Chain A
Amino acid sequence: MEKDVHYDIPHENEAINIGGYGAAFRITSPRAVDPTALRSVTGEIVKEIAEACMRKGAKAIGHVKLYLKAQSGYIRADTVGMKYGVHVDGNIARPERVANLVVNSIIIGLGKTEVASVTLKSIGEVMERHGFSMTQVEEARGGEVREKR
């Protein structure tokens, strides 16, 4: 379910004009995708979002970050602007067909509606290029996430 991030509260940062959007997806590929290709896709998503936001008129990238969780591991990717590069880490042990994807885009100089639109469009384009189908899912937040043992 799509949700806007409400950040238009009285706050000392209000002069900065920050738009944020976060969404979760289940992604599926008709064939198992090897871990190197998955890393490449995650980097491509954050790059695509950051570049599209700048083209749309953003002043700067606050932080675009992504977490992809599959059965055999996870990958995280982020950028604070394309001139600073894209950082990807984490590890997935084997080829995977299904994964959960969470993306947060925090952009300086764009409104939340524009950030949401650019983020969804960018993710959709990258997924399509690589043959993934995707479904947006709702995630509860707050409280304990999980204590890993």
Chain B
Amino acid sequence: MRVVQIAGFLGSGKTTTLISLSRQLSEEFKKRVAIIVNEIGDVPVDAKVVNEFGLKVKDIGGGCICCELLINLAITLEELSKGFNPDIVFIEPSGVSIPSSVKDGIKTAKGQEIKAGPVVVIFDAERAEEQLSDEGIGTFVMRQLSDADIVAINKVDAVDEAHIRGYEERLKAVNPGAKLVRISALKGAGLNDLIHMIMELIEAQ
């Protein structure tokens, strides 16, 4: 069971991306997929939407899985492993989670078959100017991106080529080891490339 994070700042397109990835992995790759959603707020919206697509989803709420709910994450993974035995678990941490901390939580889950897979961080190209120009938000977004194995530059259909190239240069400087891929989660563009990158990294582990 490989545990793949789909992380990224608030509103970057995590839920839309993971729904498309999960459906494709289930239907085309015949993988058994489960999803864990961690959402800010006492009532879940994302888990309900994911559930509408017929996907196996567990909701961890009431805080952040990268800190105070880290133990809940480990327990949820163990339960999924025993009860559903998925090939891949996607975790959607809240938009203010630190991916490396979530990864530490995954490693505490008991069971030899539970292994941390690649970390995908979604970068919102449409709101990048606004976010990166703010010191607090910009620093935090870059902190998330520095933990990525794959950076998926989302909403590329809403931004011109020159800006995307500029962001790619910045992202390479922040995280030289990460693979970059351009996507439009809403329109489905680039998601095949993203799936292949994820599967390649899983197979290489």
- Complex CA–CA separation, A81 to B127 (angstroms): 9
The reply to whether the CB of A122 lies closer than 8 angstroms to some CB of chain B is no
Nearest CB of chain A from residue B140's CB, rounded to whole Å:
5
Residues in B whose Cβ lies below 8 Å from that of A5: 40-42
Contact B64 A9, beta carbon cutoff 8 Å: yes
- Give the size range of B's interface with the partner: 35 or more
Residues in B whose Cβ lies below 8 Å from that of A13: 96, 140
Chain B CB within 10 Å, residue with most, of A13, A23, A102, A142: A13
Residues in B whose Cβ lies below 8 Å from that of A24: 43
User: Which stretch, B48-56, B112-120, B166-174, touches the partner chain A?
Assistant: B48-56
The reply to whether the CB of A47 lies closer than 8 angstroms to some CB of chain B is no
The reply to whether the CB of B67 lies closer than 8 angstroms to some CB of chain A is yes
Contact A63 B42, beta carbon cutoff 8 Å: no
Instruction: Knowing A11-B67, A22-B41 are in contact, say whether A143-B130 is a contact too (CB < 8 A).
Output: no
Contact of B43 among A106, A108, A141 (CB under 8 A): A141
As a 0/1 sequence over residues 18 to 29 of chain A, the CB contacts with chain B under 8 angstroms (1 = contact) are: 101111100000
A-side interface residues, number (CB < 8 Å): 50
Residues in B whose Cβ lies below 8 Å from that of A81: 127, 130
Interface set, chain B 30-52, CB cutoff 8 A to A: 39-49, 51-52
Contact A141 B61, beta carbon cutoff 8 Å: yes
Chain B CB within 10 Å, residue with most, of A11, A143, A147, A149: A11
- Complex CA–CA separation, A23 to B41 (angstroms): 8
Contact B52 A90, beta carbon cutoff 8 Å: yes
A-B pairs with CB below 8 Å: how many? 134
Q: Which residue of A lies closest to B9 (CB)?
A: A62
Interface set, chain B 50-77, CB cutoff 8 A to A: 51-64, 66-68, 72
As a 0/1 sequence over residues 111 to 149 of chain A, the CB contacts with chain B under 8 angstroms (1 = contact) are: 000000000000000000000000000010111111111
CB pairs A–B below 8 angstroms (22 shown): A5-B41, A7-B64, A9-B63, A10-B67, A18-B96, A60-B134, A60-B137, A62-B11, A69-B48, A80-B11, A80-B124, A102-B48, A104-B39, A104-B43, A106-B40, A108-B137, A141-B42, A141-B59, A144-B57, A145-B59, A147-B51, A148-B53
Given A102-B48, A139-B44, 12 more contacts at CB 8 Å? A3-B42, A12-B98, A12-B140, A22-B40, A22-B44, A60-B137, A84-B127, A108-B137, A141-B59, A142-B61, A148-B55, A149-B54
- Report which B residues bind A (CB closer than 8 A): 10-11, 39-49, 51-64, 66-68, 72, 95-96, 98, 124, 126-127, 130, 134, 136-137, 139-140, 143, 186
